[in-house]
Structures are given as structure tokens and as C-alpha cells.
Amino acid sequence: MVLVGVTALLIKSWFRDSIGSLAHAYLGNVAASFAVFSTVAIAAAPKLHRIWVAAVALAIVEAFELTDGFGVMTNVYDPFDYLANALSVALACCVDFISARTMQASTSRS
């Protein structure tokens, strides 16, 4: 799942023609938030409940927005980025939940 987020971040400019400025403005937020959630989930695997993983991931991506890229990267301020980050972390949490259920179901069938 981390690779999906990173790949989407790297290829977001390819989507600019088909989805327009929406992709350029928010696909990076979606991809980065997805990758951060997945990284935190891997790092905290059995220790943290997924709600806490989502809270930590959301805190990281929102802190990135608030501090203008942690002072390392430049970031264009857009108040809708906070919403895009929150929705992206929620999406990542749902994908994680569904994939865990699917894997659990396939394991129980075997």
C-alpha cells in the first residue's frame, strides 16, 4: 500500500490532462496521506489499533501542511488540503480494513 501511494505521488502529473487541475492540486495530498498511513500501520503493526494509526497519520500529514513542508519542502497553502488529507487517511483506513477482512476470510477458507 505504501508503494501505491508513492507511485500515485510520482505519476500525478500524468493525470493532469485527464482530470485537470484537481489532480495537480489534490492527488499529491491523497497519495502522500495514503503512503503515510500505510507506513505508520506497518511501523505500529500489532501495537496500535487502526483508529490510532489513522490519528497518527493524520497528525503527520496535517503537521506537514501547517509547517509548510516541515521547513524542508516548499508547500503551497490551500485550506482544502486539510480536508483532502483527512479524506485520504479515511480512505486508506477503509482500504486497510477491507484488505485485512479479505485476507482473513481467504485464510479461514484454506
pLDDT of the residue at 52: 93
How far is it, in rounded angstroms, from Cα 50 to Cα 59? 14
Structural domain of residue 45, as residue ranges? 2-109
C-alpha 15, offset from chain centre? 18
Distance in angstroms (rounded) separating the CA atoms of residues 5 and 27? 10
Amino acid 85: pLDDT: 93
Mean pLDDT estimate for the chain: 81
Look at 89 and 106; give whichever has higher pLDDT: 89
Asked if the model's pLDDT at residue 13 lies above 70, the reply is: no
Which band of pLDDT confidence, cut at 50, 70 and 90, is reported for residue 32? confident
Please say if the pLDDT value at position 60 is more than 90: yes
pLDDT band at 82 (very low <50, low <70, confident <90, very high): very high
In the chain, the largest separation of any two C-alpha atoms, in whole Å, equals: 50
Query: What pLDDT score does 47 carry?
Result: 82
Closest CA to 64 of 31, 41, 95: 31
Tell me how many domains the chain contains. Answer: 1
pLDDT value for 4: 66
Which has the higher per-residue pLDDT, 7 or 89? 89
